[in-house]
Structure 1
Amino acid sequence: MISLPRACALTAACALVLTACGGSTGTSGSATPTSTVDVGKAAPVTPLDAATVARAEKQGSVLLYTNADADQMAPLTKAFEAKYPGIKVRVLNMTDPQTFQRYATESATGVRTADVVMASDAVEMLNFVDKGGVLDYDDPNLEHLPAYARLAPGVVSMSEDPLVAVYNTALIPKEKQPRDLASLAELAKSLKGKIGTTDIGNSQSFGAVSNYIAEHGEAGWKNIAVLGPNTGVESGNGNLMQKLAQGQYQAAYFVAGSVRALIEGEEAGKILNYTYLTDGTPLLPRAVAVTERAASPDAGKLFVNFTLSVEGQQAACKGGFTPYRDGVECAYGLPAVEAVVGKDNMMLGGYPKDIVENKPAIVDRWKKAYNR
């Protein structure tokens, strides 16, 4: 067993990293990624034109509102500032609802607001577009990106982040850890109160549920109905990971994929193990967009251009994002996920159809299943 001080240190690390975060095949071991997959050939570099770059450098700064935490963003912002030393990136971390509410308040009062927003909540982002919050900007990288990366006018995915299952290996050995949600549902009653997830109010939880249901329909709802009354619900991934590390939970599902790098660390790996869900891994597009009220619109465009480039996606990988462009070497990249779960089990395709209209019904049905 790991010592109490080391366990406490791990839970503190979990909280730090995760403050802002998201066909049955049985239980034959862990479904973790491999870095030895074919990542394809990188497309030609597609930078902005010289005039836009010159204006961006004159503007000199980018204000970014994002749901990713400081540790996650650091490799990306440092790489951008190293490439464009005359432009500084200021990052404000907040939830998706806080991002859009703050933008609305600041825009109404004439206070400087975000040049770029980065969010995982499909409904909030689509509402933001409908309200005229997004600059209708097509980045040159788009010609080299898959169709699913185009989420809405001016909105593009910079990362396709998976939701994973996480287990306390001292309580459920690796060889007995379910690799899919259907198998975990079968164990739910025997693990009553020892399984955890995050509340549907969390954008990553809603994204996971909505994507899973879009793929599996009533069969998916059946699994959720079994899991619901046997699952503890936390407000965010920080609490979830702490309780997993402490043994209050033995398993958790629909956990933000940003935990992967942490769990593979020397200490955390002795307690926790993560797995992709082989009956369907939800992949949430983390959307990025330049705002209509940007004070530094060209600097914002340049930042978006960098995040979508092979160079930018390589830097994002270091923070735990999931790059999807061809030619990006990353143990957490989309090809690595596909190598584990198979192409047919990748819940990938932009925003689910009619997600804005369907959200109230999904939330209501989830709440009934979880007695909320």
Structure 2
Amino acid sequence: MGEASSVTPLDAATISRAKKQGSVLLYTNADADQMAPIAKAFETKYDGVTLRVLNMNDPQTFQRYATETATGVRTADVVMATDAVHMLNFVSEGNVLDYTDPNLENLPEYAELAPGVVAMSEDPLVAVYNTALLPQDKQPEDLASLAELSKSLKGKVGTTDISNSQSFGAVSSYVTRHGDAGWKTIEALGPNTGVESGNGNLMQKLTQGEYHATYFVAGSVRALIEGQDADKILDYRYLTDGTPLLPRAVAVTEKASSPDAAKLFVNFLLSVEGQEAACEGGFTPYRDGVDCAYGLPAIEAAVGADNILLGGYPKDVVKNKDSIVDRWKQAFGR
């Protein structure tokens, strides 16, 4: 995974220009609580450079950027997104600055997702159970076993809709790894699974007991469960037949008003210091030298390196999206 390096900084001239620009405007699908530790650490390290964060889903991010650049309005300096298809289209349309951060030499090859696009974290999709309704010794450790159990829990198992970029990423990674066997598991789950628009509704219904089990839940819930009151009710597990890890991509935009400040922010995110701040927000750092209970080594220890669906974007993800979505909808009766 590359040698750890606490500081792989930008050159002094770029840092000086960044400080004169004074702010970074970030569009991201991460919520305010997730971003707060990152913003605090970045602004502390680079006094005078402010991080402004607008939270929105991935389609809104890319649509807003298109609208603002078309009308000449100030737009994002950096975008952070999970949707592989939208991000690759964003690159192909010429909206990303072809910037190579010096941290890349200390990161694994899969960190670079496309020209100018790099993963700031590799976030897992997990299964989460209501322990009052499904005790630990009854909780499936893999998705295939959950599919079998779902036959007796019809309507008591939940997930998010395939239109959610994290759900699509999880499904595409899982079936890419397992092929037809993976699709058989997904199709066995379909008739017995309730579908929610997002993780908020999913977790609320799980906590209230409407669901006994949920799967392909955003890994950020780990920080909300461990050591919190929720851990008396909820328990999460990494899936042993394939825990999808989705790269959360960051890129400096072609129309950035503060391009050097944007580079400074990306450089910070990819440093050990930035990755540790990201860990505080529930993200999953993947580079060596990062102290994080939710980091990649912890997931590898739980399920084994061979059972992690890790890497860059799935091959042919843009070309295959429609067929994956259509097959999923058929399985789930959507």
For normalisation by structure 2, the TM-score amounts to: 0.99
Separation (CA, whole Å) in 2 of partners of 1:353 and 1:214 = 9
1:346 corresponding residue in structure 2: 308
Question: Any residues of structure 2 matched to 1:49-198 within 5 Å, and which?
Answer: 49-198=11-160
Q: How many residues align?
A: 334
Name the SS for the 2:126 alignment partner: strand
Shift of 1:189: 0.9
1:321 aligns with 2:283: yes
For residues 271-320 of structure 1, the C-alpha deviation after alignment (integer angstroms, 9 at most, x for no partner) is 00000000000000000000000000000000000000000001100000
2:167 corresponding residue in structure 1: 205
Separation (CA, whole Å) in 2 of partners of 1:266 and 1:122 = 32
Alignment match of 2:295 (pick from 333, 349, 354): 333
Shift of 1:349: 1.1
Separation (CA, whole Å) in 1 of partners of 2:104 and 2:43 = 22
| Unaligned residue ranges in structure 1 (runs of 5+) | 1-38
2:23–2:49 Cα contact (<8 Å) kept = yes
What's the RMSD between the two structures over aligned residues?
1.0
1:40–1:327 Cα contact (<8 Å) kept = no
> Match for 1:207: what amino acid?
G
Name the SS for the 1:105 alignment partner: helix
> Match for 2:24: what amino acid?
V
Closer/same/farther in 2, CA of residues 201 and 143 from structure 1, 3 Å limit: same
Name the SS for the 2:9 alignment partner: coil
Shift of 1:48: 0.2
> Match for 1:240: what amino acid?
L
1:262 aligns with 2:211: no
Shift of 1:266: 3.0
2:5–2:271 Cα contact (<8 Å) kept = no
Name the SS for the 1:188 alignment partner: helix
1:211–1:282 Cα contact (<8 Å) kept = yes
Percent of aligned positions that are identical:
79
1:355 corresponding residue in structure 2: 317
Name the SS for the 2:62 alignment partner: helix
Separation (CA, whole Å) in 2 of partners of 1:368 and 1:330 = 39
Name the SS for the 1:132 alignment partner: coil
Name the SS for the 2:80 alignment partner: strand
1:17 corresponding residue in structure 2: none
1:25 corresponding residue in structure 2: none
2:82–2:166 Cα contact (<8 Å) kept = yes
For residues 82-139 of structure 1, the C-alpha deviation after alignment (integer angstroms, 9 at most, x for no partner) is 0011100100000000000000000000000000000000000000000011000000
Separation (CA, whole Å) in 2 of partners of 1:199 and 1:91 = 26
Name the SS for the 2:100 alignment partner: coil
Shift of 1:335: 0.6
Shift of 1:45: 2.1
Shift of 1:267: 1.1
| Unaligned residue ranges in structure 2 (runs of 5+) | none
Separation (CA, whole Å) in 2 of partners of 1:44 and 1:270 = 37
Question: Any residues of structure 2 matched to 1:288-299 within 5 Å, and which?
Answer: 288-299=250-261
For normalisation by structure 1, the TM-score amounts to: 0.89
> Match for 2:242: what amino acid?
G
Separation (CA, whole Å) in 2 of partners of 1:245 and 1:44 = 40
For residues 248-267 of structure 1, the C-alpha deviation after alignment (integer angstroms, 9 at most, x for no partner) is 00000000000001111331
Separation (CA, whole Å) in 1 of partners of 2:3 and 2:326 = 44
Separation (CA, whole Å) in 2 of partners of 1:361 and 1:132 = 26
Alignment match of 2:240 (pick from 243, 253, 278): 278
For residues 301-356 of structure 1, the C-alpha deviation after alignment (integer angstroms, 9 at most, x for no partner) is 00000000000001100000000010001000001000111010110111000000
1:140–1:305 Cα contact (<8 Å) kept = yes
Shift of 1:41: 5.9
> Match for 2:326: what amino acid?
D
Name the SS for the 2:26 alignment partner: strand
Higher mean alpha-carbon deviation, 143-152 vs 264-273, is at: 264-273
